[in-house]
Amino acid sequence: MAEQLICRNVTLGYEGIPVTEGLDLTVSSGDYLCILGENGSGKSTLVKALLGLIPAMEGEIIRAGEISGGVGYLPQQTVVQKDFPASVREIVRSGCLKKAGMRPFYNKQEKALAEENMARLGISNLARRCYRELSGGQQQRVLLARALCATSKILLLDEPVTGLDPKAQADLYELIADLNRSGITMIMVSHDVSAVRYASHILHIGSKEQLFFGTREDYLASSLGRSFLITETGQADSLPETPPPPEPEEKTISTKTAAAAAAGLGLAAVGTGAAIYKYVKRGERNA
């Protein structure tokens, strides 16, 4: 596992005023890093720094040679894009911008790359459609395809599921996990707890400082991780491979969940409990 991105004791900020201090993290190829933090904790500043748009005030950010060509970026959607008259193909091709350099038009390889990435994300049939007519989930796929045109090594996703309906959110998370399994490093900024489920590493930043960096297992075991997940969802996120929190489930879960669980097999086996939780959650999604 080659290290792609290392931050050593990095301080970030604007005009001499630090926003976040003491960032220490390492991203290796194939990792899936989820960056958590409340609003205003400096997530967007960190994103800018990782993209190389602002320098570190202190410490150093080291990029491996293979990603010096750029990071694939999925920014948050802007108002301008909502009614933008552009075809999907035009947008995906614009991901090749850096490869084309000062050449006024895209060449054959770049066009082929765009087609390939559209096929990879299952949007080839939308190529001639207008971006503003697509659903939120489809739009995100288009922007992901564009990011893949920029790089096949590492993607940086800024709150990718914001504004999507629950079904589209789940689909997008699965898609991102698939891309990650095919070897693309993922860095995802989120304040959505369900993002944690797919990540291999977690970076949690609070106001002004780094609270946690490590693997997801360690995070879930830590008191910080547990309290974050509980305050965000009303209960700990049960994952198949981690033991769900002991007994007090009935106290924290909603009545709906409790009723469904009671109607089911009961709460006897830990594994079954987790399965029911997942089932109920899906039910809520579809509702």
Q: Are 58 and 10 in contact (CB under 8 A)?
A: yes
Per CB under 8 A, the segment of 3-11, 85-93, 117-125, 278-286 that binds other proteins is 85-93
Select the residue interacting with other proteins from 90, 115, 116, 192 (CB under 8 A). Answer: 90
Shortest separation between residue 55's beta carbon and other proteins, angstroms: 14
Select the residue interacting with other proteins from 104, 251, 255, 268 (CB under 8 A). Answer: 104
Q: Please provide the DSSP assignment of 31-56 as one string.
A: -EEEEEE-TTSSHHHHHHHHHTSS--
Q: Does position 279 bind other proteins by CB under 8 A?
A: no
Select the residue interacting with other proteins from 146, 201, 204, 216 (CB under 8 A). Answer: 146
Q: Does position 59 bind other proteins by CB under 8 A?
A: no
Q: Does position 40 bind other proteins by CB under 8 A?
A: no
Select the residue interacting with other proteins from 95, 160, 225, 273 (CB under 8 A). Answer: 95
Q: Does position 13 bind other proteins by CB under 8 A?
A: no
Query: What gap in Å lies between CA 46 and CA 54, rounded to an integer?
Result: 9
Count of chain residues binding other proteins (CB under 8 A) = 35
Shortest separation between residue 53's beta carbon and other proteins, angstroms: 6
- The gap from C-alpha 54 to its chain's centroid, in whole angstroms, comes to 21
Q: Give just the sign of the alpha carbon dihedral 93, 62, 28, 237.
A: negative
Longest dimension (CA), the chain: 66
Residues 152-181 that bind other proteins (CB under 8 A): 156
Residues 6+ apart with CB under 8 A from 165: 136, 137
> In this structure, what are the phi and psi dihedrals at residue 204, rounded to the nearest 5 degrees?
-115, 120
**How far is residue 132 from each of residues 18, 79, 80, 115, 144, measured CA to CA in Å?**
38, 11, 10, 20, 16
Contact set with other proteins (CB under 8 A)? 51, 53, 70-71, 73, 75-76, 78, 80-81, 84-87, 89-91, 94-95, 97-98, 100, 102, 104-106, 128-130, 133, 143, 146-147, 150, 156
